[in-house]
Structure 1
Amino acid sequence: MSDVTLYHWEPNANSGKPMLALMEKGVEFESHYLDLLNFDQHQPDYLAINPQGTIPAMTHRHPEMGDRVLTESTAIMEYVDAAFPGPKLMPDDPKDQWRVRWWMKFIDQWLAPSFSMIGWSVFIGPAVRKKDPKELEAAIDRIPLPERRVAWRKAIYGAFGEEEMKESQRRVAVGIRMLEDALSQREWLACDEYSLADINGFNSTYALPLSQPDLANDEKTPHILEWLRKVYERPATKKTWAMGKTDMVKRVKLLERS
């Protein structure tokens, strides 16, 4: 039985970040899959672990310090890198460390929410909307965080406003330009070695050629496409994505070289 249990959904966005970090470090962990579309994250057994009902969460049985419960995907990644042996995912140089954290914050606070709004509008909302309306309302009422209840209602009932969607698309376009510029200067996103910034960025942007074909393609953003392919080709990424259970994971196949 592993000392580490990760509660996660698909190897995508927030769930994919600690999954891939654990794989890169070579840390064995028990996978506890939560079906986000069936609201598993709001069931009592999971709320006992993470009362906020957000995914992912990780538990670590520490031999000296006892059981630890960790939440928030980016913070979990930093914990994984610091707490376990294996390849370092944070560079030694302080300025490179700053750049890693700068990019992770930018992705978490600027890009990821915009990707999420677009994704919820075109994928999660329609998928969940097929359920019985009474069951849906009951499921929404169980969500602990009020702001998450608002977001789920907007996603399920297609209530994102036109201005909200336009702003998300604008932010995505700005982010793509910034990523392309950064990757034209360095081998990896934050520095010349693979880091947590690449793990964070990949899990939010791997499907860009599919979701934003006019903005992210081999002609307009060759450095982004090469970066995504290099991350996808890493053994840890392959192992992580093999853990997916829905058709969502098939999207990563678009990164295979012809």
Structure 2
Amino acid sequence: MADVTLYHWEPNANSGKPMLALAEKGVAFDSHYIDMLKFDQHQPEYLAVNPQGTIPAMTHSGPWGERVLTESTAIMEYVDEAFDGPSLMPADPQDRWRVRWWMKFMDQWLGPSFSMIGWCTFVGPSLAHKSEEEREAMIARIPLPERRAAWRKAMFAEFSESELAESSRRIAKGVALLEEELGKREYVASNQYSLADINIFNSTYMLPVGNADLCSPELTPNIWRWLKTVYRRPAVQETWAMGSGRFTDRFNAIMGDFV
């Protein structure tokens, strides 16, 4: 049995980051699927692992006992440093700085905008069939107040027009910056595939479908080239084969155009 256990949802966004890092390093792990739309992350069994009720989370057992790791980007860095396999950080100090710059940009600035649009167009509608009482009960189980507020907005379609417009503006700006950066080198942060590529790919893999007005072979040839390169990686295809929901269906549908 593997000494690594990963608690995750579908292999995209935050859950996909440690899943893909582990696959790239060749690390076997026990997979515990946490259905976010059923609020498995707020059930007592999972809260015993991560009391904050956020996903993903990873445990790593060894002579030291059991380590519990949370926060997807930090887990990726741990995976790269704790296990053998190809390095996911470049050797050059400036390239390493660039990896961390892009991961921070994605996590703190661009990623939340992707999330808001996704919550508005997918997560909220996926729970709309539940009664108001059921949704209120689900929200009440969320440990963190800021997550309760975010889930309430998604469940009851409370995102304002100005919030959605700002998210759309940030996505357009982020796509333009990424296109510019990928015109300078093969991958986002260096000419070596790195944690920056894993981080960004897991939130941008559907750009050609969800944001066709921003990303296409004509509009963003550098992003298009990069997406095709990442889609073809065996670890990416292996990771996405672990999915079971709508995200995986969409991934498989577009992969035929890229592979």
TM-score band by shorter chain is over 0.9
In the TM superposition, residue 110 of structure 1 has moved relative to its aligned partner by 1.0
**Distance in 2 separating the partners of 1:156 and 1:44:** 22
**Distance in 1 separating the partners of 2:214 and 2:191:** 25
**Structure 1 match to 2:105:** 106
**Structure 2 match to 1:148:** 147
**Distance in 2 separating the partners of 1:256 and 1:107:** 27
**Structure 2 match to 1:51:** 51
**Distance in 2 separating the partners of 1:257 and 1:217:** 12
**Distance in 2 separating the partners of 1:247 and 1:123:** 10
In the TM superposition, residue 257 of structure 1 has moved relative to its aligned partner by 3.3
- The letter for the 2-side match of 1:245 is S
For residues 113-132 of structure 1, what are the structure 2 equivalents within 5 Å? 113-132=112-131
**Structure 2 match to 1:14:** 14
**Counterpart contact for 1:229–1:256, Cα < 8 Å:** no
**Counterpart contact for 1:4–1:60, Cα < 8 Å:** yes
- The letter for the 2-side match of 1:163 is S
Deviation readout 1:2-28 (Å, 9 max, x if unpaired): 100000000000000000000000000
TM-score (norm 1): 0.98
**Structure 1 match to 2:2:** 2
In the TM superposition, residue 133 of structure 1 has moved relative to its aligned partner by 2.4
Given the alignment of the two structures, is residue 199 of structure 1 paired with residue 198 of structure 2, yes or no?
yes
**Counterpart contact for 1:58–1:70, Cα < 8 Å:** yes
In the TM superposition, residue 129 of structure 1 has moved relative to its aligned partner by 1.5
**Counterpart contact for 1:21–1:81, Cα < 8 Å:** yes
**Structure 2 match to 1:26:** 26
Aligned CA RMSD, in angstroms, stands at: 0.9
**Distance in 2 separating the partners of 1:217 and 1:194:** 22
Q: Secondary structure at the residue paired with 2:149? A: helix
**Counterpart contact for 1:228–1:255, Cα < 8 Å:** no
**Structure 2 match to 1:250:** 249
- The letter for the 2-side match of 1:231 is V
**Structure 1 match to 2:76:** 77
**Distance in 1 separating the partners of 2:170 and 2:145:** 25
- The letter for the 1-side match of 2:174 is G
- The more displaced of 248-257 and 191-200 is 248-257
TM-score (norm 2): 0.98
Q: Secondary structure at the residue paired with 2:185? A: coil
In the TM superposition, residue 220 of structure 1 has moved relative to its aligned partner by 0.5
- The letter for the 2-side match of 1:40 is D
**Structure 1 match to 2:156:** 157
Q: Secondary structure at the residue paired with 1:158? A: coil
- The letter for the 1-side match of 2:138 is A
**Distance in 2 separating the partners of 1:232 and 1:220:** 19
**Structure 1 match to 2:238:** 239
Deviation readout 1:72-94 (Å, 9 max, x if unpaired): 00000000000000010011111
For residues 206-245 of structure 1, what are the structure 2 equivalents within 5 Å? 206-245=205-244
- The letter for the 1-side match of 2:189 is A
**Distance in 1 separating the partners of 2:197 and 2:255:** 15
**Distance in 2 separating the partners of 1:256 and 1:174:** 28
- The letter for the 1-side match of 2:78 is Y
Identical aligned pairs, as a percentage?
A: 65
Given the alignment of the two structures, is residue 89 of structure 1 paired with residue 88 of structure 2, yes or no?
yes
Count of residue pairs brought into register by the alignment: 257
- The letter for the 2-side match of 1:142 is R
Q: Secondary structure at the residue paired with 2:88? A: coil
**Structure 2 match to 1:38:** 38
Q: Secondary structure at the residue paired with 2:67? A: strand
- The more displaced of 223-232 and 116-125 is 223-232
- The letter for the 2-side match of 1:124 is V
